[in-house]
Amino acid sequence: MIDQVQPSQLQDWVQAKQAQGPTVVLDVREAWELQTASVRAENFAFLHIPMSLVPARLSELNPEQPIACLCHHGGRSMQVAAFLAQQGFTHVANVAGGIHAWSAQIDPSVPQY
């Protein structure tokens, strides 16, 4: 089962997963989207791998490490989270609402697009 985590709940999820190691927020948007709007890493590592490249770059991810997937509205990141779970990743979440919700709930300085 994939955890659905609102941006406002991400820090709690990160703390709950501390025993599994440092959390990675995996941004699966395209490069131009990342340039338009991005999150600031607080208590987690940040990694950008566009959705289409995740299978080819899977070796860059640790299956035991907590990973919260992020995209624009949550659809692509949910697909990536499900893919990771199918590949044996055990601590995977989807940031529900994506960067759009992040802007609304966490940091209004993050542009909405």
Residue 69 annotated to the active site: no
Active-site residue identified among 14, 68, 71, 96: 71
State whether residue 7 is helix, strand or coil.
helix
DSSP string across 28-91: -S-HHHHHH--PPPSSSEEEE--GGGTTTTGGGS-TTS-EEEE-SSSHHHHHHHHHHHHTT-SS
| Token digits of residue 94 | 């989807």
Q: Would you name the residues annotated as active-site residues?
A: 71
